[in-house]
A and B are shown apart, each in its own frame.
Chain A
Amino acid sequence: EAQVTQNPRYLITVTGKKLTVTCSQNMNHEYMSWYRQDPGLGLRQIYYSMNVEVTDKGDVPEGYKVSRKEKRNFPLILESPSPNQTSLYFCASSLMAGTNQPQHFGDGTRLSIL
């Protein structure tokens, strides 16, 4: 089944403890992106990647890192998480970069940073 898989789905952790949220897609998509969704603020893009080894900052990249060593994987890294990074995170992918490309989303990762 074509899908975007995120892990973990839920995580409660403490300030400063490094964590990684994994994202994997099995559709051979070139474009991948990370968003966070907060009440009243909607979806905000954190980082995106046009293809392997090509990543760029979105609107809210502070405190996050990403890598794209393989086409299928696009992990989101929080080196030193803080409470303001408590949020619902979504990974998305599309066949190619482009405004007319439908984006496919994972089911989300709910992070709570205490």
Chain B
Amino acid sequence: DAKTTQPNSMESNEEEPVHLPCNHSTISGTDYIHWYRQLPSQGPEYVIHGLTSNVNNRMASLAIAEDRKSSTLILHRATLRDAAVYYCILRDVFSMSNDYKLSFGAGTTVTVRA
């Protein structure tokens, strides 16, 4: 899978938006952008994924640059429960590997101040 680059950490205030950037300059045309997060003492949790168009769901929005070399996960109103490590990964829909394993980098640690 192609590599992604994320900031190590970000801080936010409660009830304010959080914009988490992810760079993926070597993305291929068949790579989907996926986001997961891992809260303390819990398993990873799927957040959102997209290919080209911006995507919204109940948890977050995903804004994808026109050239697809970067994307931003947007948490519209951060709560204390959003404090977690957020992982941006690329998943090739035509991957030849059939293990479908997830592999995370270091991610971005989000701290939410009350």
Contacts and interface: CB of A to CB of B under 8 A. Distances in A.
Interface string A23-53: 0000000010101000000110100101000
B42 A56 contact: no
Interface of A: 4, 31, 33, 35, 42-43, 45, 48, 50, 56, 58-59, 90, 92, 94, 97-108
A100 B104 contact: no
A53 B92 CA distance: 26
Contact of B43 (A48, A50, A108): A108
A22 to B, nearest CB: 15
Interface string B48-84: 0100000000000000000000000000000000000
Contact of A42 (B49, B92, B104): B104
A42 B103 contact: yes
Interface string B34-49: 1000000111111001
Q: How many B residues touch the partner, as a band? A: 20 to 34
Main secondary structure of the interface of A (DSSP, over half): strand
A101 B100 contact: yes
A32 B32 CA distance: 21
A16 to B, nearest CB: 28
B18 to A, nearest CB: 21
